[in-house]
Structure 1
Amino acid sequence: MGTLSPSDLRQNSSEKVVVVMVPFPAQGHLNQLLHLSRLITNHGLPVHYVTTATHSRQAKIRVHGWDPLTATNIHFHELSSLPSFLSPPPNPNKNENFPTHLQPSFNASTLLRRPVADLLRSLSNVYDRVIVIHDSLMSYVVQDFISLPNAESYAFHSVSACTLFFFIWERMGKPFGIESDFIKDLPSIDGCFSLEFVKFVHAQHEYTKFSTGKIYNTSYVIEKPFLDFLARDEISKGKTQWALGPFNPITAEEQSVHDSLKWLDKQDENSILYISFGTTTSFTEEQIREIATGLDKMKQKFIWVLREADRGDIFEVDIVNSVNRSEKMIENAASGGNGLIVRDWAPQLEILKHPATGGFLSHCGWNSCMESISMGVPIAAWPMHSDQPRNAFLVSKILGIGLVVRDWDKRDELVSSEIVKMAVKRLMGSKEGDEMRRRAAEMGGKLRRSVDEGGDGIGTAQLDSFVAHITR
């Protein structure tokens, strides 16, 4: 549907507070704030989820673990879509892995400022308080809330507390010391971002100063030291923070009988390696061959989600049929029932929850990390760009629930089939891997209990505190 009229904005006269979600138009960002919308509405507050018609559709059809169409208190504002020609197809053979093909769409997102401002003004006229929760990369778009006397904003940071802390700490010239020897293993951010994206981020930061506080999709269960660092006055500048994660459902509801789930039902416990490298990067044909060969050498059973990277408009091309490379190698790896190749959108939460899944070969995007941790599955990290190298550092060096397949310092080198084979063997066929699985299961249990009303309530208390604050 389109933007609601003022008369439709307040369906319940007893509601005094409304929440407006403004996600960044990329899959990992859209998904997180849609999950958070569910959590907020569970507390009885109406949520208006605001993005383009294309990205609204994308978020709804790809969400895991629940059905947004059944959430009666989430109102989708589907603004005019940005021109699809702004986003060229991905090029797997380019020199850098950062999704520069999406940059035109990122830049075009600033055009949403006016329609978002119009919506905020309409809501301001019918609610006592308007709460804007926006992706930190949409700070420019929501800036007009400051002209409304009854509106306030909260910046959502889509990365781990570890990644965000080190980024800020280093940018500030390391304003305080850290007593730990693990920093020597911290990957650099060289090669993580394109220069154009860095400029885009810096332009957004100019407007984050208007926010009242910060929200993270993480938990004190897994990132307490880094959340404590972020809360220090030198870093926080007096702004309150809330760790409301995990945003994703902790008990994923099976939405459909996907082929991958039916196949998993026939497999032994902890026997399957789930492989997915996210939505923003395409591998070269040569790298696909090396991965397939490594899996074949190990005779490792797997589910591999093999798709091209997203364009700005995922509905513009037939993504399902767009990957037709290295078929022979892939078929060899999957022969004899050892593997299943998924060309379409996979139910990742349900796959990770399944008892047959024993490991996750992942790009280490924060969405995937949180989903894997919450389901108690260890990670073989293959970081590509952005926050992923430091998420991999957190998973492997700090939490001890994973290992690194591709060393970030060697990111420009081909990962050989032998390296793939040895990494898979460590995770899926060794005592070291068994210990990672034990720790991951233990951490996942603690994380789930933290947001379970019958558990210790750390995460529940954080969400309750945030809702109490915005409804004060």
Structure 2
Amino acid sequence: MESLNCSRSDRSGNGGGLHIVMFPWLAQGHILPCIELSKRLLDQTNIKISIISTPLNIAQIKLFFKEKELNLNLLELQLPCVDGLPPGMENTSNLPTHLTLPFHNAVKELQKPLEILLGQIAPDIVIFDHVLCWISKVTLKLKIKSIVFFTHSTAYAGYVFCPARRSESKESTADGLLKPPADFPFTPSRYRQSEMAALLPIYTFTYPSGEKFIDLTVDCYYNCAAVAIKSCYELEAKFIDYFQRVTGNTVIPVGVLLPRPYPVKQIEIHDGMPDCLRWLKNQRPGSVVYVSFGSEYFLSEKLIEEIAEGLEASLVPFLWVLRLAGYLDEGMDEVKRRVSDSLPRGFESRVAERGMVVSGWAPQQEILCHPSTGAFVSHCGWSSLMEGLGAGLPLIAWPMQLDQGLNVEVFVHEFQVGVEVERGSDGSVSRGDICKAVKMVMDEEEGRFVRSKAAEMGNLFKEKLLEEQGSQNKYVDDLVKLFHRLKLQSKK
């Protein structure tokens, strides 16, 4: 494995094969799909992959690959300093909400260094995350074929990023966004104005250069050779067809990109095993509710209290991963102390016999696939949703932001694989709402239907969507065929 910085050049070539550059958005939920796709592409004959990110992200990406991966380069670009952004803030998993704008502005400052780097290494194709929409202008200038990559659901991509939204952006309102785009193949019935209000920055955000984020995103459809999406026809056929129709470009699904093997195989207890897996080992099969809201959402003190009281009142065993903002420079003891202090007084001692709170990080895939786990309380971000459904778990859905509300509309209500936590019009949730949803899914009789639908979905993943017997390999093969066609076009 080789780690380079932008001052070095790699013109070694690839023996007539393909050199693919991948640049994920600087967020864990976007980096992991890039890693999984890269691994599958590296399995192919004569493909070289270069992944670009900032130093701290590259250090984490290294951990996911074998020590000697000859066809993989990890290339570093130093994140520029901008006013208001503390040094070392290179990933949204540690990003407080008030730093979102300076973070986006800092990443946009990578445009010139990226142009220099791409000019040096001269790849055949660049695959970039749609949040990095400005990259399409770089590749167009350099005459390099590029593919914009959406790591959200296709339903969300079509609803929010269809070209028609660009013309609406000057007058975008929460009420206006409640209305689907023309010919959208699904009518959300439970979208809330509060969820739509949270989407407004997508249409209003403007970089210091004067470029609007929504304009640059729509430009990708015309500047890029194709649009890739982390999805599949088995789950989102009508949305993929719609997205291709409105973008006017080739939309190519690349599969669900769950890790291999999935469901994750459980291993015997060993000295280095996380405490939460040891704890799960001692619980009854299917008895535990796993609670996690992803790597980018930090709960308020009020919500933490409501969740704690709701879980306690449910009398159901639970494993709760609780993250608080500000972990960047803290030791683990300090993190545990702050998490403990955030909980209601006496909570941990009262639930000690049937509940566990994990501070900050936990092996989510191993937990979801553990025999003791019976349901998943989730924000329903796309990657977490796929992991939960791939494990055959019923969902207790509590969408927080961005794509999550529409994911819940489609998968919880249309596919009926779970229940949604009841919320007020402003998105507020009470301990009673949480308790009710948990008990509804875990109750032997009341939850039987959603548990059976979730099990059916798990079987669909196992039989049709994963590698050994399913379509994941075919999606990657189709992507590689597209690469070769694009390379041939470049030579003409």
TM-score normalised over the length of structure 2 = 0.81
Q: Tell me how far apart the structure 1 counterparts of residues 328 and 468 of structure 2 sit (CA, whole Å).
A: 42
Letter matched to residue 44 of structure 2: H
Offset, 1:346: 0.8
Q: Tell me how far apart the structure 1 counterparts of residues 117 and 266 of structure 2 sit (CA, whole Å).
A: 35
Pick closer, same or farther for the CA change 1:383–1:179 going to 2, 3 Å. Answer: closer
Q: Tell me how far apart the structure 2 counterparts of residues 82 and 301 of structure 1 sit (CA, whole Å).
A: 46
Q: Tell me how far apart the structure 2 counterparts of residues 347 and 248 of structure 1 sit (CA, whole Å).
A: 14
Offset, 1:395: 2.1
Q: Tell me how far apart the structure 1 counterparts of residues 286 and 385 of structure 2 sit (CA, whole Å).
A: 18
Q: Unaligned 5+ residue runs, structure 2?
A: 88-94, 169-179, 207-212, 486-492
Deviations 1:260-307 (A, max 9, x none): 122212222211111111122222222212211111112211111111
Q: Is this contact kept in 1: 2:188–2:406, CA < 8 A? A: no
Pick closer, same or farther for the CA change 1:252–1:143 going to 2, 3 Å. Answer: farther
Pick closer, same or farther for the CA change 1:406–1:2 going to 2, 3 Å. Answer: farther
Aligned match for 1:46, one of 33, 48, 51: 48
Q: Tell me how far apart the structure 2 counterparts of residues 179 and 4 of structure 1 sit (CA, whole Å).
A: 44
Q: Tell me how far apart the structure 1 counterparts of residues 115 and 204 of structure 2 sit (CA, whole Å).
A: 25
Q: Is this contact kept in 2: 1:362–1:382, CA < 8 A? A: yes
Aligned positions of 1:305-324 closer than 5 A: 305-309=321-325, 315-318=328-331, 320-321=335-336, 322-323=338-339, 324=341
SS, match of residue 410 in structure 1 = coil
Aligned positions of 1:28-427 closer than 5 A: 28-44=29-45, 45-60=47-62, 67=65, 69=67, 71-83=69-81, 86-87=84-85, 99-124=97-122, 130-149=124-143, 151-168=144-161, 171=165, 176-177=182-183, 182-188=187-193, 189-193=195-199, 195=201, 198-200=204-206, 201-205=213-217, 207-208=219-220, 209-232=222-245, 235-237=246-248, 239-249=249-259, 250-252=262-264, 257-309=273-325, 315-318=328-331, 320-321=335-336, 322-323=338-339, 324-326=341-343, 328-332=345-349, 334-336=351-353, 338-407=354-423, 409-411=425-427, 413=428, 415-427=429-441
SS, match of residue 342 in structure 2 = coil
Q: Tell me how far apart the structure 2 counterparts of residues 297 and 192 of structure 1 sit (CA, whole Å).
A: 31
Offset, 1:203: 4.7
Q: Is this contact kept in 2: 1:153–1:211, CA < 8 A? A: yes
Q: Tell me how far apart the structure 2 counterparts of residues 229 and 104 of structure 1 sit (CA, whole Å).
A: 34
Q: Unaligned 5+ residue runs, structure 1?
A: 90-96
Q: Is this contact kept in 2: 1:243–1:459, CA < 8 A? A: no
Q: Tell me how far apart the structure 2 counterparts of residues 10 and 270 of structure 1 sit (CA, whole Å).
A: 53
Q: Is this contact kept in 2: 1:353–1:375, CA < 8 A? A: yes
Letter matched to residue 111 of structure 1: E
1:436 aligns with 2:450: yes
Q: Is this contact kept in 1: 2:82–2:105, CA < 8 A? A: no
Offset, 1:58: 4.2
1:93 aligned partner: none
Offset, 1:437: 2.2
Offset, 1:166: 2.0
Pick closer, same or farther for the CA change 1:452–1:293 going to 2, 3 Å. Answer: closer
Q: Is this contact kept in 1: 2:396–2:437, CA < 8 A? A: yes
Offset, 1:191: 2.3
Letter matched to residue 106 of structure 2: A
Deviations 1:143-193 (A, max 9, x none): 2222334x211111121111122224573786754676x533344552223
Pick closer, same or farther for the CA change 1:176–1:191 going to 2, 3 Å. Answer: closer
Q: Tell me how far apart the structure 2 counterparts of residues 99 and 426 of structure 1 sit (CA, whole Å).
A: 33
Offset, 1:48: 0.9
Q: Is this contact kept in 2: 1:389–1:408, CA < 8 A? A: no
Q: Tell me how far apart the structure 2 counterparts of residues 7 and 166 of structure 1 sit (CA, whole Å).
A: 41
Q: Tell me how far apart the structure 2 counterparts of residues 293 and 49 of structure 1 sit (CA, whole Å).
A: 44
Pick closer, same or farther for the CA change 1:333–1:240 going to 2, 3 Å. Answer: farther
Pick closer, same or farther for the CA change 1:390–1:206 going to 2, 3 Å. Answer: closer
Q: Is this contact kept in 2: 1:272–1:302, CA < 8 A? A: yes
Letter matched to residue 12 of structure 2: R
Offset, 1:8: 4.5
Q: Tell me how far apart the structure 1 counterparts of residues 19 and 451 of structure 2 sit (CA, whole Å).
A: 42
Offset, 1:102: 2.6
Offset, 1:72: 4.4
Offset, 1:389: 1.2
Deviations 1:87-113 (A, max 9, x none): 479xxxxxxx99343331122101111
Q: Is this contact kept in 2: 1:192–1:387, CA < 8 A? A: no
Q: Is this contact kept in 1: 2:392–2:456, CA < 8 A? A: yes
2:488 aligned partner: none
Letter matched to residue 76 of structure 1: L
SS, match of residue 124 in structure 2 = strand
Question: Which moves more between the two structures, 425-434 or 267-276?
Answer: 425-434
Q: Tell me how far apart the structure 1 counterparts of residues 197 and 50 of structure 2 sit (CA, whole Å).
A: 36
The size of the alignment, in residue pairs, is: 444
Q: Tell me how far apart the structure 1 counterparts of residues 135 and 424 of structure 2 sit (CA, whole Å).
A: 33
Offset, 1:464: 0.8
Letter matched to residue 205 of structure 2: K
SS, match of residue 197 in structure 2 = coil
Q: Is this contact kept in 1: 2:6–2:76, CA < 8 A? A: no
2:480 aligned partner: 467
TM-score normalised over the length of structure 1 = 0.85
Q: Tell me how far apart the structure 1 counterparts of residues 6 and 161 of structure 2 sit (CA, whole Å).
A: 38
Question: Which moves more between the two structures, 288-297 or 248-257?
Answer: 248-257
